[in-house]
Amino acid sequence: KTDHDATFMRMKDDYMKNGQLKAGYNVQIATEGQYTLAYSLFSNPTDTKTLIPFLDEIEKNYFKLPKHIVADAGYGSEQNYDDILSNRKREALITYNMYIKEQKKKQKQNKFNTANWKYDEENDTYTCPNQKQLSFKYHSIREDKTGYKREFKIYECEDCSGCPFRSSCTKAKEGNNRKLMVNEKWEQQKEYVSAKLSEEKTGSIYRQRKIDVEPVFGFLKANLRFSRFSVRGKPKVENEMGLALMAVNLRKFTVKTR
Tell me phi and psi for residue 231, to 5 degrees.
-125, 170
First to last CA, the chain: 45
In our burial notation (b when 16+ CB lie closer than 10 A, e otherwise), range 233-254 reads ebeebbeebeebbeebbeebee
pTM > 0.85: yes
Instruction: Please give the pLDDT value at position 15.
Output: 67
Per-residue pLDDT of the chain (258 residues; tens, 9 = 90+): 789 999 998 887 666 667 788 899 999 999 999 999 999 999 988 899 999 999 999 999 999 999 999 999 999 999 999 999 999 999 999 999 888 888 888 888 889 999 899 999 999 999 999 999 999 999 999 998 888 999 999 999 998 888 898 888 888 888 889 999 999 999 999 999 999 999 999 999 999 998 999 999 999 988 899 988 999 999 999 999 999 999 999 999 998 888
What is the widest separation between alpha-carbon atoms in the chain?
Answer: 75
Q: Give the Cα separation of 28 and 67 in Å (integer).
A: 19
Q: Can you list the domains of the chain with their CATH numbers?
A: 7-100+193-257 (3.30.420), 113-183 (no CATH)
